[in-house]
Amino acid sequence: MITMKFGGTSLGDTRRLADVVTIVKTHISTKPAIVASAMSGITDTLLETARLSVQRETEKVKNNFEAMKEKHFNVADTLIKDSARREELIDRQSAIFDELASLLRGVSLLKELSPRSLDAIASFGEILSCLQIAAILNDSGIPAEFIDTRKVIRTDARFGEAVVDFSVTDTRIREILLPLIDRSIVPVITGFIGSTETGLTTTLGRSGSDYTGSIVGAATGSAEIWIWTDVDGVMTADPRYVKGARVLSAISYREAAEMSYFGAKVIHPKTMLPAIEHDIPIRIKNTFNPTHPGTLISSSAPETKQIVKNVTSIDHLSLVAIEGNGMLGVPGVSARIFTTLARIKVNVMMISQASSEHNVCIVIPQKDSENAVDALQSEFKTDISAKNIDAVKLQTEVSIIAIVGERMKGTRGIAGKTFSALAQAGVNVVAIAQGSSELNISLVVEQEDAPKAVQAIHDAFQEL
């Protein structure tokens, strides 16, 4: 069997939903289980409406509410031919909208919106969406059953970002879904939501439907997990900025995790964990171009000639350098830097220290630079007045360029090729880091050089 997760953009309107039916029909022999998000924009609207309710913005609440209703009822009207089935769906959805209305009223009366209420309200998007997908499939002659994951996915009570209890969840998934699959019924499973032991609704964090897809795929032992989205797959670079960027046919879990860290729109690393644990490949597929094979993400770095898989930039960062001749051989300088930054909750994105120990530099988000410099200056005040440390220097508007590829490990010449490409493009490299995993090389350039740098590296590795 295959677990197929459809994201909001794949469910955004009646045309897209009709395409989903075609996709499921085409792949019916794989015995699909479907995990679906809310229709695009609905989760945002639900959360916004909840906030507007607390503020008693009655008119805006009403407009949002009616717009959501209209969007869903239009789907039923347009896509469901059988009138009894259409009415049944509209009745069920009306009941859900009534329930939503009373929740919103409650929030407004109490003037209080807890994370718990937010989760309860956010969950409506997936419920409405999956009810309609199941009805549409049935109407097209594909036996399907709506599955509310509040009865399946057990979580703790960390509302907004609940943690899954796999011992309960996996058993329930198998008990509930496998008999349906055996009878050739397509389960249509709500992504994103779960519930606590006492039955309170929780969510798995924004974009959590991918995670549900991975959980379901893993527990059912699916052959693959397909994430249906709006791009052909994972690309070698951002096609908006890089000429010649193309889709990668296969990458490893590690490469995918690394790329998503560096901002490639791939898949959240947490999402992959259940799949990784059960060694189930994830395939990124495009609902707008369904015959494209997409990108396969699996445990083995596939044997392609390509060694560098991806080049990205993270833009608008700051580089903070702590320098001084007195730092040489003095233990504890790095520890103090990181403790200081941890205390003020600054995320360090890259670290580099030359072995002369004369200079430690770190890259952080630009918005944190002033805070970080102040905190470091006061931490090293004594060392600065003793001239062990010259200064805490700040360089704003820099960019980290990262190149990722599992097979870079042990391959000679990658760094050489990267730096000659940069030199030829006239790009000055400010700092460099490569972890011993050799999975990525990161380097810092001035912001204005970033597009040129990414393009030059991409061009250089084109023929690899």
Between 206 and 358, whose beta carbon lies closer to ligand ASP?
A: 206
Contact stretch for Mg ion (CB under 5 A) within 32-40, 93-101, 133-141, 364-372: 32-40
Do the beta carbons of residue 427 and residue 287 sit within 8 Å?
A: no
Residue closer to ligand ASP (CB basis): 97 or 419:
97
Nearest residue (CB) to Mg ion, 8 versus 32: 8
Closer residue to Mg ion in complex, CB, 248/266:
266
CA dihedral 255, 256, 259, 261 (to 10 degrees): -110
How many residues sit close enough to ligand ASP to count as binding (CB under 6 A)? 13
DSSP 128: H
Q: Is 125 in the site for ligand ASP (CB under 6 A)?
A: yes
108 vs 209, beta carbon nearer ligand ASP:
209
Question: 6 contacts which partner out of Mg ion, ligand ASP, none, CB within 5 to 8 A by kind?
Answer: none
Q: Is 385 helix (H, G, I), strand (E, B) or coil?
A: helix
* Phi, psi for residue 403 in degrees, rounded to 5: -115, 135
Residue 206 binds ligand ASP, judged by CB under 6 A: yes
Contact 309, 255 (CB under 8 A): yes
Please give the Cα distance from 169 to 458 (Å, whole number): 43
Looking at the Cβ atoms of 30 and 207, the one nearer to ligand ASP is 207
What are 238's two structure tokens?
A: 């951002």
Alpha-carbon gap, residue 262 to 229, rounded angstroms: 20
Instruction: Tell me if 207 contacts ligand ASP by CB under 6 A.
Output: yes
Q: Determine the interface stretch with ligand ASP among 200-208, 222-230, 241-249, 272-280 (rule: CB under 6 A).
A: 200-208
Binding flag, residue 38, ligand ASP (CB under 6 A): yes
Nearest distance from residue 135's CB to ligand ASP, in Å?
19
Q: Rounded to the nearest whole angstrom, what is the least distance from the CB of residue 441 to ligand ASP in the complex?
A: 32
- Strands of 144-147's sheet, edge to edge? 144-147, 186-190, 32-36, 2-6, 224-229, 282-286, 295-298, 250-252
Q: H helices within 294-368, ranges in order?
A: 333-343
Complex with ligand ASP: residue 271 or 442, whichever CB lies closer: 271
Rounded Cα distance between 65 and 46, Å, is 8
Regarding 217 and contact with ligand ASP (CB under 6 A), the answer is no
Q: Which stretch binds ligand ASP (CB under 6 A): 156-164, 201-209, 264-272, 298-306?
A: 201-209
Q: Which residue has the tokens 């349906």?
A: 180
Candidates 32, 187, 191, 281; binder of ligand ASP (CB under 6 A) is 191
Single out the residue of 2, 4, 5, 8 in contact with Mg ion (rule: CB under 5 A): 8
Q: Which is nearer to ligand ASP, 211 or 262 (CB)?
A: 211
Q: In whole angstroms, give the CA distance from residue 182 to residue 390.
A: 71
CB of 129 to Mg ion, least distance (A): 10
Q: Does 125 bind Mg ion (CB under 5 A)?
A: no
Partner whose footprint covers residue 358, from Mg ion, ligand ASP, none (CB < 5 to 8 Å by kind): none
Task: Tell me if residue 217 falls in helix, strand or coil.
Answer: helix
Strands (E) in 135-291, as ranges, are: 144-147, 186-190, 193-195, 201-203, 224-229, 250-252, 282-286
Residues making contact with ligand ASP (CB under 6 A): 7-8, 37-38, 43, 125, 191-192, 206-210
Residues making contact with Mg ion (CB under 5 A): 8, 37
